[in-house]
């Protein structure tokens, strides 16, 4: 089974990311195989290289992670990064980051934070590695932002969604310790 089951202790999840992620570097613009679902396991969709991705049906029905990602993003991320991942005057558009950054680099930045300082500005992304409302749903947030960046999900709450699978429900319980 390819699904990452997160530990009940969120700091342990952040530590896992710290030890397993490659050095931060931007990827080349992904081709379509890096965006579209090639496989599905228990309600989660993956690209050919095993990275979580979205699945949007012709009628606009989104997969559960995309729907959940909308909710989680607007709970934790939109205050700085703007609604629907569009960015703000002081934080970048994360819908672009989910397309431009490698999945593991995205996880690294979210869990560890990042600081960019140069002669004209200073920007700081705080670490969310200890925040279970982010780390337990990091794939959901990533998948939602990836769908927004690929322009397959419009602004606003998705109107139709797939049902949450039992495997996703169990992974949430395990991560949150409930």
- For residue range 115-134, list pLDDT tens digits in order: 887 877 777 888 888 899 89
Query: Is residue 1 in some structural domain?
Result: no
Confidence tier at 4 by pLDDT (50, 70, 90): very low
Residue 89: alpha-carbon gap to chain centroid: 22
Greater pLDDT, 70 or 6: 70
**E strand map for 7-149:** 39-41, 44-46, 52-53, 114-117, 122-125
Query: Is residue 57 in some structural domain?
Result: yes
- Asked whether 97 and 145 are in contact (CB, 8 A), the reply is yes
Q: Please name the helix (run of DSSP H) or strand (run of DSSP E) that holds residue 104, with its range, or none.
A: helix 103-112
Q: Quote the domain boundaries for residue 110.
A: 10-26+34-176
User: Is residue 134 classed exposed, middle or buried when 0-12, 13-18 and 19+ CB atoms within 10 A define those classes?
Assistant: buried
Greater pLDDT, 166 or 29: 166
Query: Is residue 152 in some structural domain?
Result: yes
- Asked whether 144 and 112 are in contact (CB, 8 A), the reply is no
Average pLDDT of the segment spanning 78-83: 78
Number of domains in the chain: 1
Query: Is residue 2 in some structural domain?
Result: no
pTM of the model: 0.77
Confidence tier at 42 by pLDDT (50, 70, 90): very high
Six-digit token string for 77:
């991320």
Query: Is residue 51 in some structural domain?
Result: yes
pLDDT of residue 115: 85
Query: Is residue 3 in some structural domain?
Result: no
pLDDT of residue 97: 79
Q: What is the pLDDT of residues 52-70, one digit of tens each?
A: 999 999 999 999 999 999 9
Query: Is residue 159 in some structural domain?
Result: yes
CATH number at residue 98: 1.10.760
């Amino acid at each position: 089974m390819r699904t990452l089951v997160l530990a009940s202790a969120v700091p342990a999840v952040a530590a896992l990311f710290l030890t397993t992620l490659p050095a931060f570097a931007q990827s080349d613009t992904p081709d379509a195989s890096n965006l579209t679902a090639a496989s599905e396991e228990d309600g989660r969709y993956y690209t050919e290289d095993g990275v979580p991705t979205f699945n949007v049906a012709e009628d606009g029905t989104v997969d559960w992670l995309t729907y959940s990602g909308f909710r989680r993003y607007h709970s934790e991320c939109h205050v700085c990064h703007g609604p629907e991942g569009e960015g703000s005057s002081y934080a970048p558009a994360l819908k672009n980051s989910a397309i431009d950054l490698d999945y593991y680099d995205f996880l690294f930045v979210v869990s560890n934070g990042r600081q960019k300082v140069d002669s004209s500005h200073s920007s700081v992304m705080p670490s969310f590695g200890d925040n279970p409302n982010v780390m337990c749903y990091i794939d959901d947030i990533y998948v939602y932002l990836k769908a927004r960046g690929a322009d397959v999900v419009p602004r606003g709450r998705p109107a139709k969604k797939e049902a949450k699978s039992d495997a996703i429900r169990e992974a949430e319980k395990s991560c949150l310790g409930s």
